[in-house]
Amino acid sequence: MMDERATIANLERRLAESEARYRLAVTDGRMGTWRWDLRDKLIWGDAAFLNLWGFPLSNEPRGLADFTDRMTPQRQAEMGEMVTRAIAASESFDGQLAVVNGPTALVCARGSVR
């Protein structure tokens, strides 16, 4: 019983350390995280992700058009092709987007299909 408690405590400590490293990397790297429901075409993002796109913080999902409307037309087409290929092959994608929210910002987009 004592070994089991020590093992659990060690695992909890390691998990907390891992989460702290993750938060530091995301914050210092100015990265946002997001989740996209392909079936319903809804996107959820954290504060950094929403800020990057010029949206206020919200727990409510946004539609895909909310984001594509803020991309340059060329990047809209490129992103559409990249994501379509990733969905068809159930693989990851990696590309760049030009987000027009005031001054244009170049954003790296990475994701995987699950």
Read off the pLDDT of residues 45-91 as tens digits, 9 standing for 90 and up: 998 888 888 899 999 999 988 988 888 888 888 888 888 888 888 88
Distance CA 32, CA 38 (A): 19
Q: Is the pTM of this model over 0.85?
A: no
Question: 3-state SS of the chain?
Answer: CHHHHHHHHHHHHHHHHHHHHHHHHHHHCCCCCEEEECCCCEEEECHHHHHHCCCCCCCCCEEHHHHHCCECHHHHHHHHHHHHHHHHHCCEEEEEEEEECCCEEEEEEEEECC
Segment among 26-35, 73-82, 99-108 with least mean pLDDT: 99-108
